[in-house]
Structure 1
Amino acid sequence: MLTKEDVEKVAVLARLKLSESEIAAIQNQLSAVLENFEQISQVDTKDVRPLVTPTDMSQTLRADVAMKFDSEKILESAPEKSGNLFKVPPVV
C-alpha cells in the first residue's frame, strides 16, 4: 500500500495541491490500482506469443500511384488565384 508520503511526493511532482481528505482518497485509489497491476504481473505468460493486433484482419491499402490532373481546370473553381496557385486569406 502506498504511504501518505508517496502520495504527497507524487502530488508535488504533478504540481497538485491536495487536501488531507484528497490525499487519503487518492492513497486508497492508487493502492487499489497498484494491487491490480500486481495481480496482472503474476500471470504466467511465458508460452503466450506477443500480440501485435487483437484481430486477424489486415488493412487493405490502395496502390500509391500518382494521379494526373489538369491544374487549369482545378484552378477554374478557385475563388481567387495567383498564377497557378490558390490564393487564401492569411492565417494567424
Structure 2
Amino acid sequence: MAKLSLGTVEKVAQLARLKLSEPELMAIQNQLSAVLENFEQIAQVDTKDVRPLVTPTDMSQTLRPDVSEKFDAEKLLSNAPEKSGNLFKVPPVV
C-alpha cells in the first residue's frame, strides 16, 4: 500500500480534534503507514485450513454452585459507623 497522504493524516487529526504541528503530522503519517503495512502483511496470511479459535486453551470453564452464606445481621452492623434498622446508613451519592 502506498504511504498515507499528509492530507489524510490532517483530516484524521481534525476529526479527532487534535492540533498537530507539521513535524508531528509527518511523524504520525510514518507511524500510521507502518501500522497499515503490518495489517496488509497479516491479511496476506493464508488461513483457509486453520480452524477458528474460540478459546486459546482446551480447558473448560469450571462452575461452582451458587451458595449464599448466612450472617448474623447484628454482628455485621456492630462495625457500622451509622445504621438505620438492619441497614448500613451511608452518605448520599450524587
TM-score of the superposed pair, with normalisation by structure 2: 0.82
**Aligned with residue 89 of structure 1, among 66, 88, 91:** 91
Deviates more, 1:69-78 or 1:5-14: 69-78
Q: Which residue of 2 aligns with 1:33?
A: 35
Q: Which residue of 2 aligns with 1:56?
A: 58
**Structure 1: segments with no counterpart, 5+ residues:** none
Aligned-partner residue type, residue 74 of structure 2: E
Superposed structure 1 runs of 4+ greater than 6 Å apart? none
Q: Secondary structure at the match of 2:65?
A: coil
Question: Which protein, 1 or 2, shows the higher relative CO under an 8 Å CA cutoff with sep ≥ 6?
Answer: 2
Deviates more, 1:25-34 or 1:62-71: 62-71
1:46 and 2:48 matched:
yes
TM-score of the superposed pair, with normalisation by structure 1: 0.83
**Structure 2: segments with no counterpart, 5+ residues:** none
> Root-mean-square deviation (CA), in Å?
1.8
Aligned residues: 92
Q: Which residue of 1 aligns with 2:82?
A: 80
